[in-house]
Structure 1
Amino acid sequence: MALLRTAGGLTGKVKDLTGPGLTDHFGAMCTDLGATVRAADGNLVSVFGDTFSGNRVGSGDWRSPVILIGTGDATHPIEYRQAGGGDVRYARQLWHYRHRSSPGLLRRGISTVIPSDLLRVGDTLYLHAMVNQGLHNVVWTEIWQSDDNGHSWRHLGKQAKFPAGLYSGYAQCWTWDYDAEDGWVYVVSTGFQRNKGLILRRVRPEHIGDQSRYQAWCDGEWGPEAGVITPPGETWGELSLRRFDCGTWVLGGFLSSAYALGYRTLAHPTSNLADMPVQRPVLGCAWDGEDHDGCLVAQLYGGYLLPGSRLDTVGGVGLVVSQWNTAVGWPYKVMQFRVTLRNTTAEVSV
């Protein structure tokens, strides 16, 4: 597999991952998000949000979440070769429910289910998802499990259904990763309204489906209460937490308070975030100011870290970036970027 170069060198936009000629044959002409992990069989598994078979948002067959499976990594081109969800040729909704979009129907149903993030522990994949009654109105969140590399999914039961108001609404949009050294899954979360900071929890893999077994981080201790770990005024949307091969953790995603994709490098998820600088490798801009080679993207969000990413390497970190022109409904797509992130864990002030 050839090493990817962007149009402007080793950083910037690599390619569109979804859209015409790329994923339309899976019924995924329009889609967003794209949190990605490498499954036990070596394939990349990406989960997408509201997905439409037509050429703009709201057109055609509407599903969410959906799975696409392929190859590639942070510095090599991602190509989706099949779909999950039980039909390798068409990206079907991972579980059955009916999308209800009118106000009257919403009182008796849900509008959509939005994926937060994927997690792999051993041979098993987990998916956390947010159930919504209207845009950004989360009514509960839940966890699903796949034992066949993303092709089929099962709900983990009543204890894996989390109230939307848990921790005052800071436990809606999740990101998570597993630390094989200490045996914990670390979960960072925020609200789905892009107006909150972050909280930190942890759980043993065998207890992922039992909300009573999660521990929260507050004032330097694990316990039942969660404290906001981000500085005042800092707010977030979509999140991505990954432990890189070098052992350093990277936490970031859509930094809504700065209209950018922002990331911190951490020695551990419990590191004091106020001490760690936020690096902003991709910035939001107006539509007439776009420069994808220069990492300027209009109406950007997402920002999921890709497997194979490396710190302190030019273009060594891969990102999955979403873009949605909300005025006209297209573009509504997912893109692959390469950026550079420094490991700043040694720069903590004493």
Structure 2
Amino acid sequence: MPKIKNLNPSVIGRIGGSDLAVPFRMPDGRIGYLWGDTFDGTVAAVGSGTDWRSPVLTIADDTPVGTPIVFVSSPGNGKQLWSYPHDNGEFTTILPTDAVSVGNRIYLWVMVTNGLGNEIRCEMWYSDDLGQHWYIALGTHQLPDGSPRWSTGYSGGRRTMVTWERGGDGYIYIIGTGGLARDKNASMWRVAETTTAIEDPYAWDAWQFRDGSWRWGKGDADEILPAGTRLGEICLRRIQNHWVFSGFDAGAYQAFVRVGYGPIEYIDWHTAPQTNPVRGAEQGSGTYDIQERLYGCYVHPSSRFENADGSTGTFAMIVSTWALSGNPYRAMQYRIPTPAALGPVSTPGAAVRKAVNPLATAKSRASAPATTAIRGGAHGAVRRVRPDGSRPD
């Protein structure tokens, strides 16, 4: 599992020390990378220079993920995406968690933090010009009663760090966990791909365990991973007909990659195949699958299970480290083992091979019963499980 490249320092974006570099596909097909607290300079260290910024966006062409990422541009030459002062008495910084492109619009989810692990609210921002200019959704972070539109207390605090991806069926699917205390399980939501719905928290459907089965409904979402799971950063991507859920398992101190196939409602994340390609250690052994002070761990959206010629594809992951000394403080590109595909894939330049599934379209989904059993693993066997993983029957 070789480390391919340190992504910072970078002249593009004026990045000395920084982290995250969350990779997402932009409306024009290029790959955007969202950076957290960023300092200028030529050293990958906390406070390596002046000009504290977050979030920052850099952009690269969509090239094979097994080759080094090369940034080609950054809106405003690495400027903070919107203006605000850090350490302003209300909060210290604003950190990005993920972005999703819908048509020509990029939606960005951020956490407003008053010290690491103390998130006071979340916000949704958008750009209609490839990241050059940004606007807060609906013009305010508040509801009419003055409370946060996107509260960090919702669903047990599990809608704080959020990752989202289009399902190809008219919905965006969202997985969330807690903030940087990294002490929460995960929950899931969906929302229709319309501006009105995306920006309205009341339009989001929660994935709930009710009356012995899972279903979409209103109210709090339930935990989707085994009891006791404690997550950090997370990333959900749809790759070649598969759902790939990756991130940092803080409880186990390692990266994880979970893979599901077909409609996301039929995936049992308790039993979905999982790999752990990078492990953390306070004192690393020097091998590339051990990374000191590990976090981040986002699967790159251009990863592939299979190439157009049928050969095994390549997966890459963006991993961060923050040394106790503050140096290094950086994001890195890793090549990781390619997980096994669970079903037919579609590859660029090859004929699309679609899996036959009765819930593959938005129309058939709309007519599906509210209560849904789960199909687990590669075989799609129907099973019913409680949020803690136990079976009611």
TM-score, shorter chain, exceeding 0.5: yes
Counterparts of 2:303 and 2:178 in 1: how far apart (Å)?
A: 27
Which protein has the bigger strand share?
1
- Matched position secondary structure for 1:63: coil
305, 325, 329: which is aligned to 2:326? 329
2:58 alignment counterpart: 68
Amino acid at match of 1:280: N
- Structure 1 position 77, deviation (Å): 2.4
1:189 alignment counterpart: 176
Counterparts of 1:347 and 1:136 in 2: how far apart (Å)?
A: 40
The runs of 5 or more residues in structure 2 that have no matched partner are 343-376, 383-393
Counterparts of 1:335 and 1:314 in 2: how far apart (Å)?
A: 23
Counterparts of 2:29 and 2:14 in 1: how far apart (Å)?
A: 24
- Structure 1 position 316, deviation (Å): 1.1
* TM-score, reference length from structure 2: 0.78
Tell me if the contact between 1:276 and 1:348 (Cα under 8 Å) persists in the aligned partners.
Answer: no
Amino acid at match of 2:203: R
Counterparts of 1:261 and 1:279 in 2: how far apart (Å)?
A: 8
2:369 alignment counterpart: none
Tell me if the contact between 1:143 and 1:161 (Cα under 8 Å) persists in the aligned partners.
Answer: no
- Matched position secondary structure for 2:47: coil
- Structure 1 position 275, deviation (Å): 1.9
1:217 alignment counterpart: 207
- Structure 1 position 254, deviation (Å): 0.5
List, as ranges, runs of 4+ consecutive aligned residues in structure 1 with deviation greater than 3 Å.
158-161, 312-315, 347-350
Percent of aligned positions that are identical = 33
Counterparts of 1:73 and 1:31 in 2: how far apart (Å)?
A: 24
CA deviations on 1:317-341 (whole Å, 9 max, x unpaired) are 111111110x211111111111122
The answer on 1:263 being equivalent to 2:260 is no
1:316 alignment counterpart: 314
Counterparts of 1:28 and 1:199 in 2: how far apart (Å)?
A: 33
2:37 alignment counterpart: 50
1:6 alignment counterpart: none
- Structure 1 position 348, deviation (Å): 6.4
1:116 alignment counterpart: 97
- Structure 1 position 122, deviation (Å): 2.2
- Matched position secondary structure for 1:275: coil
- Structure 1 position 132, deviation (Å): 0.6
Matches within 5 A, 1:1-350: 11-19=1-9, 23-24=10-11, 26-54=13-41, 55=43, 56-59=45-48, 60-71=50-61, 72-84=63-75, 87=76, 90-100=77-87, 108-157=89-138, 158=140, 161-180=149-168, 182-192=169-179, 193-206=181-194, 207-219=197-209, 220-224=214-218, 225-244=220-239, 246-267=240-261, 268-270=263-265, 271-292=267-288, 295-311=289-305, 316-325=314-323, 327-340=324-337, 341-344=339-342, 345-346=377-378
Counterparts of 1:112 and 1:303 in 2: how far apart (Å)?
A: 21
- Matched position secondary structure for 1:168: helix
Q: Per the alignment, do residues 77 and 139 of structure 1 end up closer, same or farther by CA in structure 2, a change over 3 Å counting?
A: same
- Structure 1 position 43, deviation (Å): 2.2
- Structure 1 position 272, deviation (Å): 1.5
Amino acid at match of 1:58: G
Counterparts of 2:29 and 2:381 in 1: how far apart (Å)?
A: 40
- Structure 1 position 32, deviation (Å): 0.4
- Structure 1 position 288, deviation (Å): 4.1
* TM-score, reference length from structure 1: 0.87
- Matched position secondary structure for 1:143: strand
Amino acid at match of 1:198: A
- Structure 1 position 138, deviation (Å): 0.6
Tell me if the contact between 2:12 and 2:72 (Cα under 8 Å) persists in the aligned partners.
Answer: no
Q: Per the alignment, do residues 323 and 315 of structure 1 end up closer, same or farther by CA in structure 2, a change over 3 Å counting?
A: farther
Counterparts of 1:196 and 1:143 in 2: how far apart (Å)?
A: 21
Query: Which of these two proteins has the greater Rg computed from alpha carbons?
Result: 2
- Matched position secondary structure for 1:167: helix
- Structure 1 position 315, deviation (Å): 6.4
1:8 alignment counterpart: none
- Matched position secondary structure for 1:52: coil
1:3 alignment counterpart: none
- Matched position secondary structure for 1:274: coil
RMSD between aligned residues: 1.9
- Structure 1 position 277, deviation (Å): 3.2
Counterparts of 1:26 and 1:218 in 2: how far apart (Å)?
A: 42
How many residues are matched?
322
- Structure 1 position 227, deviation (Å): 0.6
CA deviations on 1:27-77 (whole Å, 9 max, x unpaired) are 210110011122232322111000011432134211100001122342332
Counterparts of 1:17 and 1:315 in 2: how far apart (Å)?
A: 22
- Structure 1 position 296, deviation (Å): 1.5
- Structure 1 position 300, deviation (Å): 1.3
- Structure 1 position 25, deviation (Å): 5.4
Counterparts of 1:42 and 1:218 in 2: how far apart (Å)?
A: 34
The runs of 5 or more residues in structure 1 that have no matched partner are 1-10
